[in-house]
Amino acid sequence: MPSSLCEPLTNSSINFEYQKNDDWITSGKLGSREAVLVFRTNILNPKIRKTLSEKSSAQALSEAKDNEEEQSVECQKEVEQKESTSSTSEPSNKEAVSGSTQQKIYLLKNPQQCDKSDKLTFSNPFNKIVNRYSSSDTSISSEGEEPAHSSESKLRVLKTSQNAINIKLAADISKESGYESTAPAKSISCTEVSEEDPEVTSEDDDECGIHMPAFKLKITYKFHQTETKLLRKLFNVHGLTEIQGENNNFNLLWTGVHMKLDIVRNLAPYQRVNHFPRSYEMTRKDRLYKNIERMQHLRGMKHFDIVPQTFVLPIESRDLVVAHNKHRGPWIVKPAASSRGRGIFIVNSPDQIPQDEQAVVSKYIVDPLCIDGHKCDLRVYVLVTSFDPLIIYLFEEGIVRLATVKYDRHADNLWNPCMHLCNYSINKYHSDYIRSSDAQDEDVGHKWTLSALLRHLKLQSCDTRQLMLNIEDLIIKAVLACAQSIISACRMFVPNGNNCFELYGFDILIDNALKPWLLEVNLSPSMGVDSPLDTKVKSCLMADLLTCVGIPAYSPEMRSHYDQKWSRFRSSSCQRLATYSSVSQKTKKSKKKGAPINLNLTGEEQRILRNARLQYSRRGGFVRIFPTDDSMQRYGNFLDSANGIPISTPTVQSQTFQTPILQHNYNQMLHQNLYCKDGRQKLDDNSEADRIWQYERALETDSEIPFVKKPAVEKCEVEGRRLRKVMLKKISNGSELTPFQARQTFSIYLESVLRRLTEDPKDNHEKIILKFLNKFGGSVKPPVLFRNMQTIKVASKARSAMVAKLLGDFLENYKRDTEAYVDSFDHFGMIPSSAYNQFLMHAQESDLEAVLTLHTNVTGIMPFLYNRCGLSVPPTPPIPSGLHGFLRALPSMVTSSGMARELSKYDGYFKSYDKEKIFL
Ligand code: ADP
């Protein structure tokens, strides 16, 4: 790498006041190419933010580190000296990567010398928080490769500052109300929308981001088709500024859907985006299974037996029947384009699946791991920062989701989603669902942490070490199976090495023999939070992710400077491409002489190596699972021997050998340089034992985590009644609701009904809602599909939960569709919007019902259901007066659509359950 790229800017015109105060910047001195922002969860705490804003962030922290300053300078000089002798030599604990050491170094005890008992000096030996960079540390080490537990020593060094900034997580992280996805069905299928409760929210306060370096540097972020309050909050308190619209001058683009290729193509070196092109190869259920199946054929079933046997219908219907005749069901049927447990059902035999169903059908795992009798599954967070070379991290903490109803494999209740599906979005509607109300309760209720599960299993003498190694193996193999086409897309479209990163949500089911099975990989895993525990896990996850990925700390002036340098650098590094034969000769020569491998590194390879090390030093709670010391031994066979790319098609393997251009083998290069010095010395301490230790530690338990629920909107009943009278009068006098107002009224009304269904289920109201949805559920996008549950005669908590879930899904889609009707102008003959909004603010269910009833009876139209000029609009039915009269009339307001007729096919499916007893 040209040394100029590592140098701090000397351009006098770029004068930046944070030059010395760089506690929120790491990996390099401000102005150097490596400098990136630091994210920490502690400043989500309003008290800490206040302190920082009073003193300014840097001042507050520099006081705490005064003592170390001298040592840092000494050490810095020493490292810089070493640096100048070899820019690519591996950093040991004292030798650190130059970019980062330019700012400061904390003298750490060599972790190898660390007494193992050091780990036990904390109140809880499994306490995760002590080793966190971003969530608890007030300072991020600028060291290079650093062993997983070394930050404990740093913790001691920084005791003063730790005390000064007591760690508390934010009380006021809130959950997003869901993605506003207007993406086509394909995109929606791979995007996970938030499953968490909309009522949990943040009461926002004075953001103190203006004191942060990111604010001074004018660092910007942009959301596209996504909205997570947690992320927005993190960005804002760290001083990043949101940009909107067509402006693409962002530092970070966070999208909820796949990215447009023209945006990717034009990314500047300092820009980051949260997806790789063609990620759908992994995140679409059907693509994932096909990619893994290909690897099973190519590499052998025993190596890729990581997913339940799966068929994509209708194409593979016959294969499914053949498989069923060999090994009988049950089978779980999932729409190819859906998430959150929507449209999933379980059948005992393929003939119970409607013909022509477009679905993914998997063998149902009948013997899942149960906790206290409840089926559970696991959500783990996987960060890929590069596909070539492959760099995969697994976040140390995950979420375990439990089904509400006890699992019973001999029951005739395959229909019961609250027993067989662990999705939060289904189980939250069950009246027995328990939310933990304390962040320290990691094994309470129906959501646990991964570490709590591991500790629980360990107590039962289960081999949790092997379980975690198997989970790592599953993740690596899934990524290997899908990597090839993502890599070719990256080569085609991504202009700079560091532009893309991606956080995937892996859903894993563990069976009772502790074998993990991959169920699916989620694009944009939900960052919604519904409990203090969620808040803690996800805040730490996001802060650590942003620090690890590294948002370059460049001001706009610096950007243009780097843009110029970078393009010069790229063009010169491109010229380095040589023919394969010439370079292989060179390699052979140098091997004979026993020359260190890094002498052969190209500029690009040096950049990759340097970047991998710096990233590793910022990893926080992420555990790097690829590369590790034995990754080449374990997975080398699945990589092309010439270019190191994971091979999933036999043809490509032969093609790559024919190419005359040098195929860089970045995977091999990285592994060699991280783990073997002259083939002898191991330099990275990312050992198996370290990784397992990290997974098993609990999240911090001694810190109070206030969690604020959104205060119920204060409605004034009297005012509501008064405004209702006003509205009724206007309607009687001929005023009409605009389509937007009518739809708004209808959705708020259905929300009240939904609340009642969950709090106080009523059999007849459930039936009315089902009837309505059966006819009308197909008219929203995406349609709310369901099986006709009227055949399940017995009212039960599980049935109530199913109905509530359906209504919840319908409402979400209906509200999204309503956005298309927004109308900010008042029209003649219509009710003025300001007066109507006042009414909506205070209206209770009965007020909304009264307005909808009168409007329908007087106008003879139903703008909340149909456009005025729509074809098949049924005549309005007479709406009975009295409480819930509107609700009772609702099913007769809609016609049976084609969709409903389609869905009625499922009646047979449910009837078959009535007849036969099903044994799993
Ligand atoms: P979605 O994307 O709609 O959430 P998933 O594939 O994650 O769909 O499945 C939803 C739930 O169904 C999971 O939480 C899991 O409990 C259950 N499940 C999915 N596939 C299987 C399977 N093959 N065997 C047993 N249970 C499964």
**What is 375-418 written as a DSSP string?**
EEEEEEEEEEEEETTEEEEEES--EEEE-SSPP-TTSS-TT-HH
User: 825 is written with which tokens?
Assistant: 């102008």
Atom of ligand 1 nearest to the CA of 308: 23
What is the Å distance from ligand 1's center to 421 Cα? Answer: 6
Q: Do the beta carbons of residue 546 and residue 214 sit within 8 Å?
A: no
* Per-residue confidence (pLDDT) for residue 548, from 0 to 100: 96
Q: Do the beta carbons of residue 317 and residue 323 sit within 8 Å?
A: no
- Rounded to whole angstroms, how far apart are CA atoms 507 and 489? 25
Pocket test for ligand 1, best of 376, 427, 519 (most atoms within 8 A of CB): 519
- Rounded to whole angstroms, how far apart are CA atoms 193 and 286? 19
Atom of ligand 1 nearest to the CA of 285: 6
SS3 of 251-269: the string is CEEEECCCCCHHHHHCCCC
User: 244 is written with which tokens?
Assistant: 């909107």
Q: Do the beta carbons of residue 217 and residue 183 sit within 8 Å?
A: no
3-state secondary structure of 125: coil
Determine which residue's CA is closest to atom 6 belonging to ligand 1: 519
Nearest to 427 by CA among 418, 437, 414, 415: 418
Determine which residue's CA is closest to atom 10 belonging to ligand 1: 341
Atom of ligand 1 nearest to the CA of 401: 14
* Per-residue confidence (pLDDT) for residue 502, from 0 to 100: 97
Kindly list the distances between the CA atom of residue 629 and the CA atoms of 94, 822, 855, in Å, as whole numbers in the listed order: 21, 57, 71
Residue with tokens 């206030």: 706
Residues 6+ apart with CB under 8 A from 422: 375, 376, 377, 401, 402, 403
Q: How many CB atoms lie within 10 A of CB 661?
A: 10
Atom of ligand 1 nearest to the CA of 342: 3
Atom of ligand 1 nearest to the CA of 519: 6
**Backbone phi, then psi, for 499, in 5-degree steps?**
-60, -40
User: 905 is written with which tokens?
Assistant: 């096919």
* Per-residue confidence (pLDDT) for residue 425, from 0 to 100: 86
884 CA to centre of own chain: 41
Q: Do the beta carbons of residue 835 and residue 844 sit within 8 Å?
A: no
User: 205 is written with which tokens?
Assistant: 């306060």
Determine which residue's CA is closest to atom 8 belonging to ligand 1: 341
What is the Å distance from ligand 1's center to 407 Cα? Answer: 14
Determine which residue's CA is closest to atom 21 belonging to ligand 1: 364
* Per-residue confidence (pLDDT) for residue 740, from 0 to 100: 92
Show the low-confidence residues of the chain (pLDDT under 70).
Answer: 1-22, 48-49, 52-208, 337, 410-412, 561-599, 650-663, 677-685, 699-713, 781-795, 824, 826, 868-872, 896-920
Q: Is the peptide bond before 880 cis (omega within 30 degrees of 0)?
A: no
Q: Length of the chain in residues, anyone?
A: 920
* Per-residue confidence (pLDDT) for residue 417, from 0 to 100: 86
- Rounded to whole angstroms, how far apart are CA atoms 49 and 165? 10
End-to-end CA distance of the chain: 60
Q: How many CB atoms lie within 10 A of CB 605?
A: 23
**Backbone phi, then psi, for 74, in 5-degree steps?**
-60, -50
User: 472 is written with which tokens?
Assistant: 């790592």
Q: Do the beta carbons of residue 191 and residue 339 sit within 8 Å?
A: yes
- Rounded to whole angstroms, how far apart are CA atoms 857 and 130? 65
Helix H or strand E segment including 473:
helix 464-493
Determine which residue's CA is closest to atom 9 belonging to ligand 1: 341
What is the Å distance from ligand 1's center to 811 Cα? Answer: 23
Determine which residue's CA is closest to atom 23 belonging to ligand 1: 364
Residue with tokens 């942490």: 449
Q: Do the beta carbons of residue 580 and residue 170 sit within 8 Å?
A: no
Nearest to 904 by CA among 777, 753, 793: 777
Residues 6+ apart with CB under 8 A from 418: 403, 404, 405, 426, 427, 430, 797, 798, 801, 802
Nearest to 598 by CA among 516, 673, 691, 663: 673
- Rounded to whole angstroms, how far apart are CA atoms 73 and 80? 10
Residues 6+ apart with CB under 8 A from 98: 6, 79, 80, 83, 87
Atom of ligand 1 nearest to the CA of 425: 4
What is the Å distance from ligand 1's center to 698 Cα? Answer: 26
- Rounded to whole angstroms, how far apart are CA atoms 240 and 839? 37
What is the Å distance from ligand 1's center to 767 Cα? Answer: 27
How many helices (DSSP H) and strands (DSSP E) are in the chain? 34, 18
Pocket test for ligand 1, best of 374, 423, 447, 508 (most atoms within 8 A of CB): 423
* b/e burial code for range 183-206 (CB count within 10 A of at least 16 → b): beeebbbbbbbbbbbbebbbeeee
Residues 6+ apart with CB under 8 A from 416: 405, 798
Residue with tokens 């910022």: 618
Pocket test for ligand 1, best of 285, 509, 784 (most atoms within 8 A of CB): 509
What is the Å distance from ligand 1's center to 420 Cα? Answer: 8
**Backbone phi, then psi, for 218, in 5-degree steps?**
60, 45
- Rounded to whole angstroms, how far apart are CA atoms 535 and 439? 8
Q: What number of CA atoms fall less than 13 Å from residue 34's CA on the CB side? A: 31
Residue with tokens 């997983």: 148
Atom of ligand 1 nearest to the CA of 192: 2
- Rounded to whole angstroms, how far apart are CA atoms 133 and 184? 39
What is the Å distance from ligand 1's center to 507 Cα? Answer: 8
Determine which residue's CA is closest to atom 27 belonging to ligand 1: 364
Residues 6+ apart with CB under 8 A from 12: none
Query: DSSP letters along 738-801, please?
Result: -HHHHHHHHHHHHHHHHHHHHHS--HHHHHHHHHHHHHHGGGSSS------GGGS-S--HHHHH
3-state secondary structure of 845: helix
- Rounded to whole angstroms, how far apart are CA atoms 441 and 452? 9
- Rounded to whole angstroms, how far apart are CA atoms 373 and 517? 19
What is the Å distance from ligand 1's center to 900 Cα? Answer: 25
Q: What number of CA atoms fall less than 13 Å from residue 893's CA on the CB side? A: 25
* Per-residue confidence (pLDDT) for residue 874, from 0 to 100: 78
3-state secondary structure of 579: strand
Kindly list the distances between the CA atom of residue 742 and the CA atoms of 531, 716, 833, in Å, as whole numbers in the listed order: 34, 21, 11
- Quote the DSSP letter at residue 345: E
Pocket test for ligand 1, best of 340, 364, 421 (most atoms within 8 A of CB): 421
Instruction: Name residue 334's beta-bridge partners.
Output: 360
What is the Å distance from ligand 1's center to 362 Cα? Answer: 9
List all residues whose CB is within 6 A of at least one atom of ligand 1.
308, 332, 334, 338-342, 344, 362-365, 377, 421-423, 507, 509, 519-520
- Rounded to whole angstroms, how far apart are CA atoms 112 and 93? 10
Determine which residue's CA is closest to atom 22 belonging to ligand 1: 364
3-state secondary structure of 367: coil
* Per-residue confidence (pLDDT) for residue 411, from 0 to 100: 55
Q: How many CB atoms lie within 10 A of CB 465?
A: 17
Q: Do the beta carbons of residue 106 and residue 156 sit within 8 Å?
A: no
Q: Do the beta carbons of residue 381 and residue 471 sit within 8 Å?
A: no
